[in-house]
Amino acid sequence: MPADSARPRLAVWKLASCDGCQLTVLDCQDELLALAGEMDIAHFTEATSAELPGPGPFDVSLVEGSVSTPADAARIKQIRADSRTLVTIGACATAGGIQALRNFGDVAEFASTVYARPDYIAALATSTPVSSHVPVDFELPGCPIDKHELIGLLSALLAGREPRIPGHSVCEQCKLRGTACVMVARGTPCLGPVTQAGCGAICPAFGRGCYGCFGPMTAPNVGALVPWLGRLGMPDSDIRRVFATFNVAAFDRLAGGSAAAAARPEPGRRHPGSGA
């Protein structure tokens, strides 16, 4: 990299998201300045309205957000076509995000409840990760992503080597930083044993359980963890809910549909705000 110019071109794109992962890119501050010395930032509307000439190609595209509208679905195909390396950043882009709760509800009902003119709303019935639509080269999980993981990935791409994205659990990061296990030492429920490392085990370091914002690790044993959460006093309804957050679609596949069950309104009860 780059293939045919002196400096590689970086683009940062947004689909359906809260912008938090793009803010993590900006939070790199000093590193971002160094990066700007090595790469041309050709498109990054969260940071600047200035655009370098030409639509593409881009050596690296960072994509935040899930595919939630027909326009997103068309845009991501164009972004893929214009990008040599496509990296998805954050739980929205890698797993569908918190907005994937809609996958287990009725989008038409939500739209008619919230909007005076639901016919103006163009939304897909599901919120899906970018990888469901186009090939993705690398995925950085997290809500939001970790800046050190991002800098490590971009540095590796600049150096022409394979980025190293961990597939192991948050538990390993607790051991590495010397944090006592919150489940064993405090009896605090924690999703660390099934959650992908990368955040530095921030939550256990501050005495609270991991709630899975980095999504499932490689080959997580959710079936072994769930009974432990019950033994620590979590009722079944809370266990289902804890899997029904930022990575609901990814955890649901592993938890046998129980995350989806938590995302659905209880029988005879409508979602809050439905006016019933």
Let me know: does 89 contact 64? Beta carbons within 8 Å. Answer: yes
Which residue, 8 or 198, has its beta carbon nearer to ligand SF4?
198
Query: Judging by DSSP bridges, how do beta strands 9-14 and 58-64 pair with one another?
Result: parallel
Q: Is 118 in the site for ligand SF4 (CB under 6 A)?
A: no
| Of 144, 163, 189, 193, the one binding ligand SF4 by CB under 6 A | 144
Q: Is 15 in the site for ligand SF4 (CB under 6 A)?
A: no
| Of 1, 2, 7, 18, the one binding ligand SF4 by CB under 6 A | 18
Q: 201: closest CA among 181, 225, 185? A: 181
Let me know: does 225 contact 193? Beta carbons within 8 Å. Answer: yes
Phi, psi of 230 (to 5 degrees): -65, -45
How big is the chain by its Cα radius of gyration, in Å? Answer: 20
Which residue, 8 or 213, has its beta carbon nearer to ligand SF4?
213
15-23, 76-84, 179-187, 262-270 -> range binding ligand SF4 (CB under 6 A): 15-23
Let me know: does 247 contact 241? Beta carbons within 8 Å. Answer: no
Q: Is 58 in the site for ligand SF4 (CB under 6 A)?
A: no
Span 173-212, contacts to ligand SF4 by CB under 6 A: 195, 199, 201-203, 210-212
Span 207-266, contacts to ligand SF4 by CB under 6 A: 210-214
SS3 203: helix
CA distance 191 to 169: 9
Residues in touch with ligand SF4 (CB under 6 A): 17-18, 20-21, 64, 90-92, 97, 143-144, 170, 195, 199, 201-203, 210-214
